[in-house]
Amino acid sequence: MFIFSLNINLEVNETQTLITLGGYVDVVKYRYVYFVLWLIVYVLILCCNCTIIYIIWIHRNLHEPMYIFIAALSLNSLLFSTAIYPKLFMDVLSHRQSVSRATCMLQSFFFYTLGGSDFILLSAMAFDRYVSICKPLQYATTMSTTSVTIFLVLGWLLPACQMMVATVISAKQKLCHFTLAGIFCNNSIQRLYCVKPRILTVWSLFVLTNITFIPVLFILFTYIKILMVAYRSCREVRKKAAETCLPHLMVLISFSCLCGFDVIIARLDSDLSKTVRLIMSLQIVVYNPLFNPIIYGVKMKEIWKHIKRLLLCGTHHPISQKRCERSR
């Protein structure tokens, strides 16, 4: 009984161990600069993504698979940012930048679960464009409500289950170091383990293949097929392919580069200066959540049309009000 209670206490103390976040540069000097800049970015992320979700939600002509997947990506960006930014606010305003191990593992779980979900949702969007352009007669039956629901469930459930296994394995590892060279928790936490188990390395590669490499290869394959069909088709098909596929490719390229940054930070941790590491970390948590809704809002013609109408109706100028009434 005594040994059992001692083991429980050791596990509890292990999860409550404080990990110092050592990735900040002159945080005491620039404390309020950090806070104001990150608050502005977080508010912009909330406003942009909520706008996209709201527009898709209220307009029935946008209740199509492509737009539903865009709304799901915006929801991911909201959840991702909420898992990162509030903790950043608390850290820069605190005298000590630290995090408990349990909180760190939870943040890392959401970080990679939502990242993997983005890749799967982008794959679903690529498949949707492939069916729409290459097999338009089969679109209604292939991309049914059931199919979209399955894609959404897999997009959120598959990465979550796989990352849950990785989190459980990580939770059982003993820490020998307590300073994380970053401002939030990602796979750099593995550098704090006394011994990195082989099973964690193997499982991480398995997860990386499932939720990153396979979706990217599938996306590239579908877009090659789309380009081949569009090249042989009429001008109208080429225009449709360019208008709907270009934003997805832009998001995929941007997101893949940011994921590459995350890998580089983890692998070259000791070779990067603190300033370079901070800049690369900030790009990961700023670009994708902020620029995705901007890309979709500007490049997707139907969404941009509703955004302009929303802005027009939000003004109090008489001419704008008359135009808004006519548009309705």
Domain ranges of the chain: 36-176+186-314
Give exposure, 1-13, as e/b (b: 16+ Cβ within 10 Å).
eeeeeeeeeeeee
Give exposure, 110-144, as e/b (b: 16+ Cβ within 10 Å).
bbbbbbbbbbbbbbbbbbbbbbbbbeeeebeeebe
The backbone torsions φ and ψ at residue 91, rounded to the nearest 5 degrees and listed phi first, read -65, -45
Q: What whole-number distance in Å separates Cα of residue 78 and Cα of residue 47?
A: 10
Q: Which residue type sits at 221?
A: F
**pLDDT tens digits, residue range 125-140?**
999 988 988 888 888 8
Residue with tokens 């370079």: 276
Chain-centre distance for alpha carbon 318? 41
Q: Give this prediction's pTM.
A: 0.85
Average pLDDT for runs of 10 along the chain of length 328: 40 62 83 91 93 91 90 93 92 87 91 91 90 87 92 93 92 86 83 85 88 89 84 73 75 78 66 76 84 80 82 59 52
DSSP-assigned letter for residue 316 = -
What is the predicted pLDDT for the residue at 10? Answer: 38
What is the predicted pLDDT for the residue at 20? Answer: 87
**pLDDT tens digits, residue range 266-316?**
666 556 677 878 887 888 888 888 888 888 877 777 888 888 887 777 655
The stretches of 213-271 forming alpha helices (DSSP H) are 214-232, 235-267
What is the predicted pLDDT for the residue at 11? Answer: 44
**Contact (CB, 8 A) for 20 and 183:** no
* Best CA proximity match to 74, nearest among 286, 296, 298, 262: 296
- The per-residue DSSP string of 58-104 comes to H-GGG-SHHHHHHHHHHHHHHHHHHHHHHHHHHHHHSSS-EEEHHHH
What is the predicted pLDDT for the residue at 225? Answer: 86
* Best CA proximity match to 189, nearest among 123, 261, 127, 265: 265
What is the predicted pLDDT for the residue at 96? Answer: 85
What is the predicted pLDDT for the residue at 319? Answer: 47
Q: Which CATH architecture has domain 36-176+186-314?
A: Up-down Bundle (1.20)
**Contact (CB, 8 A) for 113 and 163:** yes
